[in-house]
Structure 1
Amino acid sequence: MSSPLVYLYVPGDRPERFGKATTSGTDAVVLDLEDAVPVAAKDSARIAVGTWLEKRDRAGVPTWVRVNPGAELLDDLTMAVRCGADGIWLPKCDDRATLDRVDRMLTDLEAAEGRPRTPVSPLIETGAGLVNAPAIASGPRVEFVQIGEVDLAADLGVSAVVGDELLWARSHVVAASAAARIRPPLAAASPVIDDPASFETETRQLTGLGFFGRACIHPRQIVSARSGLAPTAAEVDAALDVLAAFDAAGLGAATDSAGRLIDEAVARIARRTLARRF
């Protein structure tokens, strides 16, 4: 697996959960300083996250930090860079200018702290962000884009997300990511914790729409996320068949064992299918 697929949120004011999260089976951890933390606990959460980041086993799973977009932004970024976070989740990102500003802040912080370049994943959570998705996806440091679906639904005035209410938004962000030539977007977190079959089905549907990976808010979602992300045995066999025929043809046009035409686009789909294996 070349890229993490499952990202597990952990509230930044619950340090007793940080270490447990890294051994939960997730591919990456997201220590959340934003929505999961009450206003009164922002400062103490930042200290707890920084303390843990400095002491963690860096050979373990990658750990990102979701920062606050407002007055706490600089303090959050300073802590994240100084303490060695593997990346930044940037909520409420409405435009390219926000990414440019964060890029300048991170560049200064990395130079001061002697840290490597920090990737960013912006969350699109408003109508403005959605309209500006192509510019956001092509912004500096952007590794992949996400949708904050509950916030976006509230801003758009659509009903609770139970079906296709956000279908256009999802497809728009997938297309924006493809146009920017970045990794496909990460499928959004869901409040569904105790219905694994529903969570797995939704994850598989989002994968079919072009998303790559899933954010989870509880360890109980991880197994269902993996099941929904993973290709079936038949899909794996078909992908291997496609790539074997394509390679045998010298990466030119070929046919698979069923006589179907294979070109580079078909091979790309097959590679992406295999990238979802665990």
Structure 2
Amino acid sequence: MTPLTWLYVPGDRPEVVQKALSSGADIVIVDLEDAVAPHRKTYALAATAELLSSPQPVPVHVRIHAERDIAPLAPLPGLAALRIPKVTHATDIRVTAKLAPGKGLYALLESAGGVEHAYAIATADPAVRGIALGEADLRADLGVRNDTGLDWPRSRVVVAARAAGLPPPTQSVFPDIRDLDGLAASCAHGRSLGFLGRAAIHPRQLPVIERAYLPGPEEVEAAEEIVKAATTDAGALALPDGRFVDAAVVAAAHRTLSLAGRDGA
């Protein structure tokens, strides 16, 4: 199943983490970095290690705060992957991979340097499972004053992930948990740029993200028509309504139907 919803929860609030595990999120991300105050980070690490000492019902990723967080977490059976914040060079990933053998790594690019080195970071080590933007820090680093100013870095990370053979990146969080219409519009824009799924900071955002990224009935119908019309020994062809179909279009239709399979389509 392709994950579409990734829910951040603060590592120093075990009761919130437990609720997140039954929230319906595809992946839960326990945050030891920005969501935890400095004087609470030691406790957050200990609480997270206790949680991950046993397998969990959904995959749990941990966004680490510092390199010293890795050793206590890496061997634990409940840890699915590590998320590495503020990655700027491929070396950052290689160091982490040595400290956490066998664990998947997700690199968060949160500066101009990280974006510029996106492909090198994505291919730094076989342990890399994905790359994504940290848009709050990136916006501050670039001095961007409106949301569209980040579209070039967004496209850059989408291209780098594809070139590296990684899944499409997930969108960064939408900070206003009350503005669900704004979230839906932002997800639609992210989907148009090539993102797949989104990180959330509150469970109420999860259904909106999922609806935005699942293909709608018209998309599914169109994809089914394309796949039905295509044959393995045929070249390019035109459907009765004038749509042009070639191998690339057929491949895209198969991806749409695969994703739609999440809801039984």
Compared with structure 1, are the counterparts of its residues 238 and 33 closer, same or farther at alpha carbon in structure 2 (3 Å cutoff)? same
- Tell me what 2:17 maps to: 18
Name stretches of at least 5 consecutive residues in structure 2 with no aligned partner.
none
Give every structure 1 segment of 4 or more consecutive aligned residues whose post-TM-superposition deviation is greater than 6 Å. none
Distance in 2 between residues matched to 1:49 and 1:257, nearest whole Å? 57
- Number of equivalences: 259
Q: State the shift of 1:257 in Å.
A: 4.9
Q: How far, CA to CA, are the matches of 1:206 and 1:273 in structure 2?
A: 16
Contact 1:88 1:119 in 2 (8 A): yes
CA contact (8 A) 2:2 2:259 kept: no
Instruction: Give the equivalent residue in structure 1 for 2:106.
Output: 121
* Structure 2 counterpart of 1:87: 81
RMSD: 1.6
Residues 1:138 and 2:135 are matched in the alignment: no
Query: SS in structure 1 opposite 2:149?
Result: coil
Distance 2:138 2:89 in 1: 15
For residues 275 and 195 of structure 1, the distance between their equivalents in structure 2, rounded to whole angstroms, comes to: 30
| TM-score normalized with structure 2 length | 0.92
AA aligned opposite 1:33: L
Q: Confirm or deny: 8 A CA contact 2:26 2:59 kept in the other structure.
A: yes
What does 1:177-216 align with in structure 2 at a 5 Å threshold? Answer: 177-216=161-200
Question: Are residues 1:61 and 2:58 paired?
Answer: yes
CA displacement at 1:180 relative to structure 2: 0.9
Which amino acid is 1:24 matched to?
S
Any conservation in 1 of the 2:20–2:28 contact (CA below 8 Å)?
Answer: yes
CA deviations on 1:192-235 (whole Å, 9 max, x unpaired) are 20011110111111011000110001111111111211211101
Shift, 1:3, TM fit: 2.2
1:31-70 equivalences under 5 Å are 31-57=30-56, 60-68=57-65
Render the CA deviation track for 1:58-109: whole Å, top value 9, x for unaligned: xx211111011xxx313x21222222210011100001111111111223xx
Structure 1, unmatched stretches of 5+, are 108-116
Shift of 1:52: 0.9
Residues 1:258 and 2:251 are matched in the alignment: no
Q: What is the TM-score when the length of structure 1 is the normalising length?
A: 0.88
Structure 2: distance between partners of 1:257 and 1:213? 33
